[in-house]
Structure 1
Amino acid sequence: MRTWARKSRSAAVRLYQGYNRRRARKAPPASTREIKILLLHANGMGGTIRTVFNLAGYLAERHDVEIVSILREDEKPFFPLDPRVRLRYLDDRLAPDGDPMRAMLSKMPSRLIPKDETAYHRFTLWTDLKLARFIRSLDTGVLMGTRPGLNLAMAQLALPSVITIGQEHVALKVKPESLQELIKWRYRRLDALVTLTKADLKDYQDALPKRPKKLVRIPNAVPPMNGNLATLDAKVAVAMGRMTKLKGFHRLIRAWEQVAAAHPDWTLRIFGAGPQEEHLRQQITDAGLEGKVELPGKTADIGAELEKASIHVMSSRHEGFSLTILEAMAKGVAIVSFNSPHGPKEMITNEVDGLLVKPRTEDNLAAAIIRVIEDERLRHRLAAGGLETAKRYDVSVVGERWEALLNDLLARRTRVLPPAPVAEPVSPSGSPA
């Protein structure tokens, strides 16, 4: 019985692959003119969304770019989007529920997205249907995914004539083992996999038995921000991000108890929202930190809030290539961060453009913040170092690396020699940034 089942599955796979090859033979020539970027929820708030919007705006100078949002749960995007970039929604959950099939399938769990994907609960059988139909409708151009579930769906469903690029915004090692196993065997079908950090790139190089045609690291770029540089005389520290345990805001609040005791005239503002928000509010009340720690909620104007601060604190347990660190550097704000093994460790040179603190050590985090508060010369020196570092992540620099990748992938399909690759920026230590 098992042998028969295996043979049936193998036959079905061969039929599916044969059908794909026949469709691919009839497809238009390979092209990078049209780029589609899959995103879970374009109207939400988060670093991945801002990063994708930033990249899409840059690519729109030379390409026809469309962001395809799986969900629509808010009326319009929280962050500004370049008007040249089109936006569509596959599952508009604000629309009237008049379709019986949609109503039925929306109550059923996803079969396309792995259960260990962190956003699994956001997908349904209806989103499976809409996503699969969209991917299968493409016969040329570029399709990008921005999270494991979407990358895996692309690897399964995209026609061979479509250039597929997976982006990873979260480190491989923090993903559940079952998800890592799927990644190891399916990501080889992608044309390219892009990581944000060198450490994550090495993890994928070591983990994947067979790699995509291109496995590269391209960091985030600094998004455009309004206003001026921080003056560094405001007695304000800021932290930003989704309020989850991973962001470590509970540790930051405990550390601020020591900071507030030493410098009661300083204020900590934590911007964001999420499932831990009420818990954090209660923690602030229990610690007697009302008025000293504020939770102002979400903000679309990150630059304006950084401009009013002197210190940016990163307290995450794990962090990819943090966009808020780049934004703080570009605004001339001094940075104190836990020394997470991927993003912060690669982005910050200790004592040059920020202070790195042993992870999950509230006493050390408090001591580092107090040191920056009390040493004005250090505060200005770190801020100046951050401004220099931020120049290496200007959107024009990072964008050209994306263009080089697209040219290379197209050349592999057309056998046309691509332009010379863009060199990686060099850090103060002499190694690639």
Structure 2
Amino acid sequence: MRALARKGKSAVVRLYRGYNRRKVQQAPPPSTRQVRILLLHAHGMGGTIRTVFNLAGYLAREHDVEIVSVLKEAEEPFFPIDPRVKFRFLDDRLRPSPDPLRAVLSKMPSRIIPKEESAYHRFNLWTDLKLARYIRSLDSGVLIATRPGLNLAIAQLALPSVITIGQEHVALRTQAEAIQDLIKWRYRRLDALVTLTKADLRDYRETLPKKPKKLIRIPNAVPPMTGDVAKLDAKVAIAIGRMTRIKGFHRLITAWQTVAAAHPDWKLRIFGAGPQEEVLAQQIVEAGLEGKVELPGPTSDVGAELEKASIFVLSSRHEGFPMTILEAMAKGLAIVSFNSPHGPREMISDEVDGLLVKPRTNANLAASIIRVIEDERLRRDLAARALETAHGYDVDAVGQKWDALLAELLARRTGTYVRPERPSAETPSPEAPPAPAPQAEVSPEEASR
């Protein structure tokens, strides 16, 4: 029976590969004219969504850009978007369909997205069907995915004629072990993998037994914001993020008890929403911080709120590449952040354009905030240098890196790519591209890995 099953599986694999070859032969020439970006829910309010909108707006200058959202759970996008960018939604959950197949499949768990993926509960067999149909419908252009589950899906399902790019917003080491195992086997099929930090780039280089054709770090760019730089005369500290345990707002509130005792005229505002919101509100009451710590909810105008503050605080346990730090820098705020090798440590030079605090030390966080409050010269110096740092993340500067990546991937497909000369030993380049790996075909057998 086992031998028969193996023969049957081999036959399926041969048919699958043959189908792929026929589709590729019929596909148009390689092109980067059309760029599609896969998101979980484009009308949400997360940092990944904001950065994707920013990238899409830049690429829309020269490309036909479409954001493909797996889910639609709100009528309008939370963040502003360039009108040249198109939208497509695979599963519109605002308008229930009478389709009996949808009703049945929506109750069944996903088979494409790994159970260990943080957004696994948002997927089901119906979203699997819609996602697989969409990916398999593409025969050219560029397809960019933006989270591990979607990166794994396009590596598994996209035709070899499609240029595939995985973009990672969360550090490899924070992923579940099962996710990391899948990444090791499937990411080699991507044309490129883009990380946000140098630390994460090093981790992928050391971890992946076989690399994508291109492994590169491209940070996020500063998004456009309203208003001007902060005047630094407001006695306000600000924090922004989804209200989940990992963001550490409970630690920040605890630290603020010490800050409020020393400086009762200063106020903390935490913008965002999420499952921890009620817990945090209760913590504020129990700590006697009503009127001193505010939870105004989410805001679509981040720039306006940052402009009203003087200090930005990041209390997350760990981060990939926190856009909130970049936005605060661009607004000229003094920044106090827990130290993290995959984000804040790369973005902030301690005592230069911000203060880095040992993670999960509430007392140290409070002491650093108090130091910035009491030392106005330090506060203004940190803010001025943060503003200078933000210039290096200008949308055009970062966008040019994406232009160069797309041009290189197209040249590799058309056979016109010329490998740059290797740098000398005296000037090593941490981001020199690895040797190109052959394009691997996708099979149902490999997909089970």
Corresponding residue for 2:435?
none
Corresponding residue for 2:261?
261
Distance 1:418 1:51, change over 3 A: farther
Tell me the CA shift for residue 431 of structure 1.
Answer: 9.7
Corresponding residue for 2:188?
188
Corresponding residue for 1:22?
22
Corresponding residue for 1:83?
83
| 1:36 equivalent in alignment to 2:36 | yes
Given residue 8 of structure 2, which amino acid in structure 1 is its aligned partner?
S
| 1:97 equivalent in alignment to 2:97 | yes
Corresponding residue for 2:309?
309
**d(CA) in 1 for partners of 2:387 and 2:60?**
27
| 1:387 equivalent in alignment to 2:360 | no
Corresponding residue for 1:176?
176
State the secondary structure of the residue aligned to 1:386.
helix
**d(CA) in 2 for partners of 1:3 and 1:304?**
66
State the secondary structure of the residue aligned to 1:317.
coil
State the secondary structure of the residue aligned to 1:351.
coil
Given residue 177 of structure 2, which amino acid in structure 1 is its aligned partner?
E
Corresponding residue for 2:58?
58
Corresponding residue for 2:364?
364
Tell me the CA shift for residue 417 of structure 1.
Answer: 4.3
Tell me the CA shift for residue 21 of structure 1.
Answer: 1.3
**d(CA) in 2 for partners of 1:292 and 1:420?**
56
Q: Deviations over 1:227-283 (max 9, x none)?
A: 011000100000010111110000000000000000001010000001111111111
**d(CA) in 1 for partners of 2:392 and 2:2?**
56
Corresponding residue for 2:204?
204
Q: Deviations over 1:157-181 (max 9, x none)?
A: 1000000000000000011000110
Q: Counterparts in 2 of 1:26-425, with a 5 A limit?
A: 26-417=26-417
CA contact (8 A) 1:172 1:180 kept: yes
Given residue 398 of structure 1, which amino acid in structure 2 is its aligned partner?
V
Given residue 227 of structure 1, which amino acid in structure 2 is its aligned partner?
G
Tell me the CA shift for residue 418 of structure 1.
Answer: 7.2
Residues paired across the two proteins, number: 424
Distance 1:277 1:133, change over 3 A: same
**d(CA) in 2 for partners of 1:7 and 1:312?**
61
CA contact (8 A) 1:257 1:289 kept: yes
Tell me the CA shift for residue 3 of structure 1.
Answer: 4.0
CA contact (8 A) 1:193 1:214 kept: yes
Q: Deviations over 1:300-334 (max 9, x none)?
A: 00000000000000000010111000000000000
Q: What is the alpha-carbon root mean square deviation over aligned residues?
A: 1.5
TM-score, normalised to structure 1, is: 0.96
**d(CA) in 2 for partners of 1:110 and 1:68?**
19
State the secondary structure of the residue aligned to 2:356.
strand
Tell me the CA shift for residue 9 of structure 1.
Answer: 2.4
> Which segment is superposed worse, 117-126 or 16-25?
16-25
TM-score, normalised to structure 2, is: 0.92
**d(CA) in 2 for partners of 1:203 and 1:5?**
38
Corresponding residue for 1:424?
none
Tell me the CA shift for residue 107 of structure 1.
Answer: 1.2
Tell me the CA shift for residue 4 of structure 1.
Answer: 3.5
Tell me the CA shift for residue 11 of structure 1.
Answer: 2.9
CA contact (8 A) 1:407 1:418 kept: no
CA contact (8 A) 1:404 1:419 kept: no
Distance 1:419 1:397, change over 3 A: farther
Given residue 328 of structure 2, which amino acid in structure 1 is its aligned partner?
A
**d(CA) in 2 for partners of 1:326 and 1:431?**
23
Corresponding residue for 1:426?
none
Q: Deviations over 1:362-410 (max 9, x none)?
A: 0000000000000000000000110110000000000000000000000
Given residue 32 of structure 2, which amino acid in structure 1 is its aligned partner?
T
**d(CA) in 1 for partners of 2:4 and 2:254?**
60
Kindly, what percent of the aligned residue pairs are identical?
A: 75
**d(CA) in 2 for partners of 1:254 and 1:264?**
15
> Which segment is superposed worse, 95-104 or 224-233?
95-104
Tell me the CA shift for residue 13 of structure 1.
Answer: 2.0
**d(CA) in 1 for partners of 2:417 and 2:12?**
38
Corresponding residue for 1:427?
none
**d(CA) in 1 for partners of 2:17 and 2:51?**
34
Distance 1:420 1:221, change over 3 A: farther
Tell me the CA shift for residue 7 of structure 1.
Answer: 3.6
**d(CA) in 1 for partners of 2:420 and 2:104?**
52
State the secondary structure of the residue aligned to 2:107.
coil
Tell me the CA shift for residue 415 of structure 1.
Answer: 1.9
State the secondary structure of the residue aligned to 2:280.
helix
State the secondary structure of the residue aligned to 1:313.
strand
State the secondary structure of the residue aligned to 2:340.
coil
Tell me the CA shift for residue 96 of structure 1.
Answer: 3.4
**d(CA) in 1 for partners of 2:14 and 2:210?**
20
Distance 1:13 1:153, change over 3 A: same
Distance 1:227 1:15, change over 3 A: same
Given residue 14 of structure 1, which amino acid in structure 2 is its aligned partner?
R
Corresponding residue for 2:439?
none
CA contact (8 A) 1:407 1:419 kept: no
Show structure 1 runs of 5+ residues with no match. 422-429
Given residue 253 of structure 1, which amino acid in structure 2 is its aligned partner?
I
Distance 1:418 1:65, change over 3 A: farther
**d(CA) in 2 for partners of 1:287 and 1:418?**
62
Q: Deviations over 1:177-200 (max 9, x none)?
A: 001100100010000000000000
Tell me the CA shift for residue 413 of structure 1.
Answer: 0.5
**d(CA) in 1 for partners of 2:430 and 2:145?**
29
Given residue 77 of structure 2, which amino acid in structure 1 is its aligned partner?
P
State the secondary structure of the residue aligned to 1:35.
strand
Show structure 2 runs of 5+ residues with no match. 422-428, 432-449
State the secondary structure of the residue aligned to 1:399.
helix
Tell me the CA shift for residue 419 of structure 1.
Answer: 11
State the secondary structure of the residue aligned to 1:185.
helix
